[in-house]
Amino acid sequence: MGVVNVTPDSFSDGGRFFEPARAVERGLRLRDEGADLVDVGGESTRPGAQPVPADDELHRVLPVIEALAKEGVAVSVDTMKAQVMRAAIDAGCAVVNDVYGFRAEGAVDTVARASVGLVVMHMQGTPGTMQKAPHYDDVVGEVTAFLLERAQALETAAVARERIALDPGFGFGKTVEHNKQLFRALPQLAAHGYPILAGVSRKKMIGDFTGRLATERTAGSVAAALMAVQNGARIVRVHDVKETVDAINVWMELKQ
């Protein structure tokens, strides 16, 4: 999954793809570099980010989704809002990626009526406050229980199990230690049978391990994506598609 942030303030590429034409160009390029899915978002969820009104978010993402879908690109929309989900589905997106785990009012009903794929992510708190003091008694147990509960809520609303992927939400209300524990527990999470998505690309954790700025974290991010796949992730959400695809292809050829 390649990332296209149609935002002025995303943490690693804010402003670079805010113009619709540049966002579309970016999406096409990521597809050509080997992304099976292009994730279009209009609201930054970086720590401290402020919410964006639904109308503004729609104005940002809809033209980009429409143009990419018309070009045959499989598009996911990265949103927490039912209104945006509905419009994005009508505009041709194939997957709804919700960092809020379909807890917003109307979200479950909206996606239950469609046939798109769904990514359920775990977040403790909200982007505005989530990194202030993340706390868990048992991070792996609590995140797993949350994800299974949300998958169950979708299935109760008649969403087929095959449509659902789960994501522990690296960096969303988690310390580096929480992220490490979740990363090592990916095989256990995958054992529940849902495809797992992992998003670690350019995140603070990579910066902590390498001492690099967000724009210089490609090699660290590729290493983490490759390890996520080895730990059972079926989808990796990345900014650097070409490098990640190369790494995964080399690993697939050389592994036993």
Binding site for ligand HH2 (CB under 6 A): 3, 5, 7, 10-12, 41, 44-46, 78, 97, 99, 119, 121, 167, 169-170, 197, 199, 237
Minimum Å gap between C-beta 41 and ligand HH2 is 5
Cβ closest to ligand HH2, residue 46 vs residue 163: 46
Q: Which amino acid is at 94?
A: A
CB 83 to ligand HH2: min, Å? 18
Whole-number minimum distance, CB 48 to ligand HH2, in Å? 10
* Paired tokens of 80: 């927490």
Least gap, CB of 245 to ligand HH2 (angstroms): 18
CB of 198 to ligand HH2, least distance (A): 7
The one catalytic residue among 150, 163, 203, 217: 203
| Residue among 15 and 250 whose Cβ is closer to ligand HH2 | 15
Closest residue to ligand HH2, based on beta-carbon distance? 199
Cβ of residue 49: shortest distance to ligand HH2, in angstroms? 6
R_g over Cα of the chain: 17
Catalytic: 237? Answer: yes
Nearer to ligand HH2, 16 or 188 (CB): 16
Question: With 0-12 CB in 10 A as exposed, 13-18 as middle and 19+ as buried, what is 13?
Answer: middle
Pick between residue 162 and residue 253 the one whose CB is nearest to ligand HH2.
Answer: 162
Closest CA to 110 of 139, 87, 137: 87
**Active-site residue 203, yes or no?**
yes
Q: HEC string of the chain?
A: CEEEECCCCCCCCCCCCCCHHHHHHHHHHHHHCCCCCEEEECCCCCCCCCCCCHHHHHHHHHHHHHHHHHCCCCEEEECCCHHHHHHHHHCCCCEEEECCCCCCCCHHHHHHCCCCEEEEECCCCCCCCCCCCCCCCCHHHHHHHHHHHHHHHHHHCCCCHHHEEEECCCCCCCCHHHHHHHHHCHHHHHCCCCCEEECCCCCHHHHHHHCCCHHHCHHHHHHHHHHHHHCCCCEECECCHHHHHHHHHHHHHHCC
7 vs 131 by CB, closer to ligand HH2 = 7
Query: Which is nearer to ligand HH2, 42 or 62 (by Cβ)?
Result: 42
Show which residues are catalytic.
203, 237
